[in-house]
Amino acid sequence: MAQLRSSFWRVGHDREIKLGARSVLMAIVNVTPDSFSDGGRYETVEAAVTHALEAISEGAQIIDIGGESTRPGADVVPPFEEQARVLPVIEALRAKTDALISIDTYRAETARLAIGAGAHIINDVFGLQKEPEIGKVAADARAGLCLMHTGRDREKLPDVITDQIFFLERSLEIASSAGVPKDRIVLDPGFGFAKDTEENLELMARFGELHRFGLPLLAGTSRKRFVGAITGRQAADRDAGTAATSALLRLAGASIFRVHDVAINRDALAVADAMLAARNSFEQGNLA
């Protein structure tokens, strides 16, 4: 089990969030008609905002808003349509809550407009490697930045951790060149993104090796296909399996958890946090 040290993730609009002793929940709000588990449920601004506020009441500290589905085979959405979906939701949420808002996009212009509308974090599923200009957007806005690993649209290296290191080191080089400080960056190993069940399980088992980067880690396993392969459940019924992966990855050192169902993951992570606190207390007592 990883030793979790306290730190602060600095994000946009002069905000920060404490990481360490307590897990942080990032709630997924898909403003899309075709996302794999909840497509169409939150297409309207009112529905998306209502869902986001419910997630906050259940314990989410970050709301991650996306306007294009990232499921395999999903249609590419034109930038203007993505922006028309997400910007009104961000503006409405900013007026109703102090919770942090994340924009799930790989497009620099969408990220720029989203930060202007009130978002604090840019969550790029291509780790700055599709539109590197997004790094400059993050630097100029002093926004938080989540860099995700993906195996899509490229040839992966055979070892799952070697491929993580190869890809994420390139992402960090782009961020550094753009002027993004490290205290504004978290890393996401991209569970499910061009990874089969065996690769996802190996990535979970070896998750601790990612601490070599010295940066906070985000886990996004929620309702992913590999959870369904293990449990035999359809996407909408994978929240219990997701909560199990969240607890296990917390013990391996993940700090932030991107989920659909906040309540069940909050409870699972509360148990993991309590166990980590008890372990730390025991170890400190033995050293005294």
Catalytic residues: 224, 258
Query: In whole angstroms, how far apart are CA 114 and each of 13, 23, 83?
Result: 12, 26, 8
Token couple for 200: 């996802």
Task: Judge residue 258's burial from the number of C-beta atoms within 10 Å of its C-beta, 0-12 exposed, 13-18 middle, 19 or more buried.
Answer: buried
State residue 171 phi and psi, 5-degree precision: -60, -40
CB 151 within 8 A of CB 174: no
Cα gap 1→4, rounded to integer Å:
9
Which residues face 265 on adjacent strands?
none
Cα gap 166→284, rounded to integer Å:
37
